[in-house]
Amino acid sequence: MDKQQIIEFINEEVVVCLDTNVYLNIYEYNPHVSDAYVDMANEVLDYLVLPSTVEREFRKNHRTCKGRQSKKFSNIESKFGSSITSMSTKLVKQFEILNDFAFPNVDRLQSDVESKIEELTSIIEDYVTENHVVEEMTDRFTDDDRVESLVQELIKKNRILEPMKVEKIYEICEEGEKRYKDKVPPGYGDLKNKTGVRLYNDLIIWKEILEYCKMNKKNLIFVTDDVKPDWYHLSGECLGQFRHELVKEFNDKTGHLMIGMTSKSFFEAVSEKYGMKIPSIVESVLDFDIDNYIEYLLDDSLEDSIRESLSYSDEEFVNIDSLTNYGGSSFEYEDINEFEYKECIFEGCFDNNAIYTLRFAVKATISTREYWGRDDDTKETILSDKHFSDIEGEIYVELTRLVDTYLDSIIEDYDYDKFIIVRGDLSEIYNYYEDDLCVECGRSIGEVSHYSGGMVCTSCAVVDFDGDICPCCGRKVPFKYMAGNGFCITCSQENPNL
């Protein structure tokens, strides 16, 4: 069955049963693939059912699989080291034999070989050091234990099948003894390595799901990575196909359809049906290291560069319908007051280019001027006085990073190729004219009267080097206009009792 047929088979009339080995094998993949497979399983969560025997087998074995995965990377150096030591020991014996038979230049040969062995050891050490991020990714995956969470979610959603009664299990075991003798699938492939009831677990799982589909009138997708003759045809014209006897038994007992496949085929179909990409190791490292990468760029010069780009973008990222008195004549950024990084999303790799989307919260002050015509004599454009607007909102920046396929290059190189502001939604929240600005700082709106005319903002309406506050009139007064009694000259003259 090809991928398109599998995709079409995933519908409201079907349930999906993942064998125990599928859940356990997710621990064995590289962490980026494991994450992707769990995401895909969650995407089809409402189709999944969990036989009680699968749940029991998972509980028994998942800690071992999880522990084995957590040690995979950390054991690389020691395993390679053991192999190199073993090889060195064998080579020493060979050199001794050559010396015993008086072969020429053995000392030089031995020195050259030992030098290469030291070089090989150094290569392994460098690999482990340069790719430490893979170990960190593995640790994160095993610490989170998303496979365990997936199983728990199935139980929470009541997708686990009712355990069979002991009497029923014994009946299946008796049936299994006869089936296995005649090599009727599934389960007889376990004859060499299992005993007792465990020998019949595959058959019990098969019976559980068969009974469920019969009772609920469902088609079945059965996914197992137990690629043995009791599940798959391993020879002949049907090589690689799910055992036809099982398909027929399911159809005869339930009156419905089924297909069987490996997890690779299943997840590839889910990936295509739901547009979910299985990332490469390069993409996974880029996504995992995203926080360190963006933090480095922002601390370096990226933020200043984006600010500058925004300041020259005119009204491109501003909702001009929100602006007061703007006719499209003159637009200018006066100041970008606040520029806060909010998040970054890794979009993926395309032709060796890693694409990131960064989101920033922005508060800025812009000025606009209306077109009043042209001077009759000079023909110069006449514009109105500046009208100011405080704007705020968000902008989105697409950042491109040229990446190498070598992990050490990715980890060590925190550069970027280019960026572009792709969209924004900045809107006016306040507007005012130049005469409304503080006469001292010229940046904020004036709210307190100044002795010389105009207004000062609340930040400047304090006692400082520019003057004092008259407690009588409340104005900001330059020191030269203070009367010396704590009041301004005008108030002192108008009120002799002060």
For residues 277 and 169, the model is more confident at: 169
Q: Does 317 reside within a domain?
A: yes
Task: With a cut of 80, say whether residue 6 has pLDDT above it.
Answer: yes
| pLDDT tens digits along 237-279 | 888 899 999 999 999 999 999 999 999 899 989 999 998 877 6
Q: The dihedral of CA 379, 380, 386, 391: what is its sign? A: positive
Residues 6+ apart with CB under 8 A from 380: 374
> Given the structure tokens 């700082």, which residue do they identify?
441
DSSP per residue, 2-52: -HHHHHHH-STTEEEEE-HHHHHHGGGS-HHHHHHHHHHHHHTGGGEEB-H
- pLDDT (0 to 100) of residue 261: 93
Highest mean pLDDT among 26-30, 38-42, 328-332, 349-353: 38-42
Q: Structural domain tally of the chain?
A: 4
SS3 102: coil
3-state SS, 213-263, equals HHHHCCEEEEECCCCCCCCECCCCCCCCCECHHHHHHHHHHHCCCEEEECH
Work out the pLDDT band at 327, boundaries 50, 70, 90: confident
Contact in structure between 66 and 144 (CB atoms under 8 Å): no
**Partners of 246 in beta bridges:** none
Q: Does 190 reside within a domain?
A: yes
Task: With a cut of 60, say whether residue 281 has pLDDT above it.
Answer: no
230 with 296, same domain? no
Average pLDDT for the chain: 87
- pLDDT (0 to 100) of residue 411: 47
- pLDDT (0 to 100) of residue 151: 96
388 with 254, same domain? no
210 with 237, same domain? yes
| pLDDT tens digits along 80-121 | 878 888 888 888 899 888 888 888 898 999 999 999 988 888
Mean predicted confidence (pLDDT) in 391-411: 75
> Given the structure tokens 């989170």, which residue do they identify?
144
Q: Distances in Å between the alpha carbon of 258 and those of 172, 187, 492?
A: 21, 18, 99
- pLDDT (0 to 100) of residue 409: 45
425 with 489, same domain? no
What does the alpha-carbon distance between residue 419 and residue 341 come to, in Å, rounded to a whole number? 15
- pLDDT (0 to 100) of residue 144: 79
29 with 126, same domain? no
Total count of residues recorded for the chain: 498
| Bridging pattern class, strands 371-374 and 381-383 | antiparallel
87 with 153, same domain? no
The kind and range of the H/E element at 479 are: none
Q: Does 440 reside within a domain?
A: no
- pLDDT (0 to 100) of residue 49: 97
Task: With a cut of 70, say whether residue 404 has pLDDT above it.
Answer: no
3-state SS, 378-433, equals CCCEEECCCEEEEEEEEEEEEEEEECCCCHHHHHHCCCCCEEEEEEEEEEEEEEEE
- The runs of H, that is alpha helices, within 101-159 are 106-130, 132-144, 146-156
182 with 144, same domain? yes
Task: With a cut of 70, say whether residue 282 has pLDDT above it.
Answer: no
Work out the pLDDT band at 54, boundaries 50, 70, 90: very high
Quote the domain boundaries for residue 124: 76-130
115 with 178, same domain? no
Task: With a cut of 50, say whether residue 414 has pLDDT above it.
Answer: yes
68 with 83, same domain? no
Work out the pLDDT band at 283, boundaries 50, 70, 90: low
Token reading at 334: 């006066």
> Given the structure tokens 């990446």, which residue do they identify?
403
Q: Does 346 reside within a domain?
A: yes
SS3 451: coil
Mean predicted confidence (pLDDT) in 123-150: 72
Task: With a cut of 90, say whether residue 484 has pLDDT above it.
Answer: no
Last residue of a domain, one of 435, 458, 481: 435
What does the alpha-carbon distance between residue 400 and residue 417 come to, in Å, rounded to a whole number? 6
- pLDDT (0 to 100) of residue 406: 43
Mean predicted confidence (pLDDT) in 43-67: 92
Q: CB count, 10 Å around CB of 297?
A: 23
Q: Does 168 reside within a domain?
A: yes
Token reading at 331: 């637009």
The kind and range of the H/E element at 333 are: strand 330-350
SS3 445: strand
Task: With a cut of 70, say whether residue 410 has pLDDT above it.
Answer: no
Q: Does 222 reside within a domain?
A: yes
Q: Does 441 reside within a domain?
A: no
Mean predicted confidence (pLDDT) in 70-85: 70
256 with 125, same domain? no
- Weakest-pLDDT range from 372-386, 391-405, 452-466: 372-386
| Bridging pattern class, strands 448-449 and 381-383 | unpaired
Mean predicted confidence (pLDDT) in 389-403: 92
333 with 420, same domain? yes
- pLDDT (0 to 100) of residue 326: 85
Last residue of a domain, one of 273, 308, 343: 273
19 with 7, same domain? yes
Q: Does 106 reside within a domain?
A: yes
